[in-house]
Amino acid sequence: MDAIRIYGGNCLTGQTKIQGSKNASLPVLAATLLINGTCEIENCPNISDVFHMLRLLESLGCKITREEGLVRVDTGQLSECDMPADSVGVMRSSIMLLGALLARAGSVSMEYPGGCVIGKRPIDLHLRALRRMGVEITEEEEGFCARTSGLQGTVQELPFVSVGVTENLILAAVLAQGCTIIHPAAREPEIQILCDFLQSAGAKITGVGTDRLVIEGVQSLHPVRFRVPADRIVAGTYLAACMVTGGRVFLQDAPCEHMQSVFACARKLGTEISCERDGVLVSGRACEPFPEGLVTACYPGFPTDLQSLFMVVMALSGHSGWIEETVFENRFRIVPELCRMGADITVQGARAYIHPVECLHGAIVEAKELRGGAALVAAALAAEGTSIVTNRHYIDRGYEDISLSFRELGADIELA
């Protein structure tokens, strides 16, 4: 079955190792297309989004080998530039291959990408920005064809910050003719990681970590071995779960320097956070009021990907609170499911108002997207009684084995 059964009420204690970052692995894997030869990517997580990306690369003619967390991508035999619709349809980051493939092969045709249903998630900005680099794009109902006789560096003044557009433009620009300026560029750690990878392969990028990236096109890049850092959102997931069950958990390898906004919020809610050399120690239930409200924002603000997990934390904090979602317009799909478990939450536009309840109770609830699904598991761990979270496949998109990780921390949880 495609579900997880959780017997709530256990306090989380112990240690878990945080897997490699999904949102960093995907663009890095896409970036291997820019390099003729074999790249070795360490610490790639074993999650379905990565498997889809590898299948896409294979369908383009790349040779993939995997052992443990090491993925070897040999792009020497790249043959196709049309992407299979079944893989593109399920994963939004397939759009990431567009910039890289145009740089490598000059033409691509693909269906419109899928991914988590958390808003309209259009790709208009991707296409507009690539057109400005000399790409001709013909849009049809189901998909589009893109073609270029040579990517041209250009000044890209973007109307708002987008992680995906910034990544796509970086991938298109590193081998383009001349200089590309991206402003405002997203500053998410995953952008920095992508730039680290490309720089180690010989790309010329300055301004990394700022909102203005300057990329000087180079002739070619060389194969490298690269290690993907740990996933800040997965670390935040286990942190939030510990905040609702109480307890003491060590998140090995958690990237502390990239989690400051999350830690600030956790501390205000009453949980102790201690950053150590090789991870972070989390202890204590979150039961302090948080009247100022939580507002999601681009990095270094509070990540939208942890919004639903912190909704669970606030729902169980014993105080009223509110959350404002500013990045995606449809990211409160967890609310009716949490209410089914006894939460009292109302949504008005981009704000969710959370009213205190004594406790949550077990229920059968449905994961409707990746992080919302993980948040339901966290809620079920703290609830009284047994819960079943259905649609586990959404959770598998981003977590290697969420049941195993929570079992390591003392939870009573199993596949169902």
Specify the residue, 73 or 158, whose C-beta has the smaller distance to ligand UD1: 158
Q: How far is the CB of 233 from ligand UD1 (least distance, A)?
A: 7
Binding site for ligand UD1 (CB under 6 A): 23, 26, 92-93, 119-126, 162-165, 190, 304-305, 327-328
Q: Which residue is nearest to ligand UD1 (CB)?
A: 164
> In angstroms, what CA-CA distances link 337 with 136, 364, 389?
44, 9, 10
Query: 311, 381, 378: which is closest to 346 by C-alpha?
Result: 311
Task: Give the H or E element holding residue 276.
Answer: strand 272-276
Q: How far is the CB of 156 from ligand UD1 (least distance, A)?
A: 13
- The shares of helix, strand and coil residues in the chain, as percent rounded to the nearest 5, are 35, 25, 40
State the Cα–Cα distance between residues 249 and 264, nearest whole angstrom: 17
Side-by-side strand order, sheet with 204-206: 155-157, 179-183, 213-216, 204-206
Q: Which two tokens stand for residue 381?
A: 């761990």
Q: How far is the CB of 248 from ligand UD1 (least distance, A)?
A: 29
Q: How far is the CB of 359 from ligand UD1 (least distance, A)?
A: 30
Specify the residue, 249 or 294, whose C-beta has the smaller distance to ligand UD1: 294
Which residue out of 39, 62, 116, 242 is catalytically annotated?
116
Query: 122, 197, 200: which is closest to 162 by C-alpha?
Result: 122
Residue type present at position 364: I
Q: Please confirm, yes or no, whether 116 is among the known catalytic residues.
A: yes
State the Cα–Cα distance between residues 415 and 411, nearest whole angstrom: 13
Specify the residue, 125 or 350, whose C-beta has the smaller distance to ligand UD1: 125
Residue reference for tokens 């009420």: 9
Characterize 142-172 residue by residue with b for buried, 16 or more Cβ atoms within 10 angstroms of its Cβ, and e for exposed. ebbebbbeebbbbebebeebbbbbbbbbbbb
Q: Which two tokens stand for residue 124?
A: 């208009």
Q: How far is the CB of 18 from ligand UD1 (least distance, A)?
A: 16
Specify the residue, 76 or 300, whose C-beta has the smaller distance to ligand UD1: 300
Catalytic residues: 116
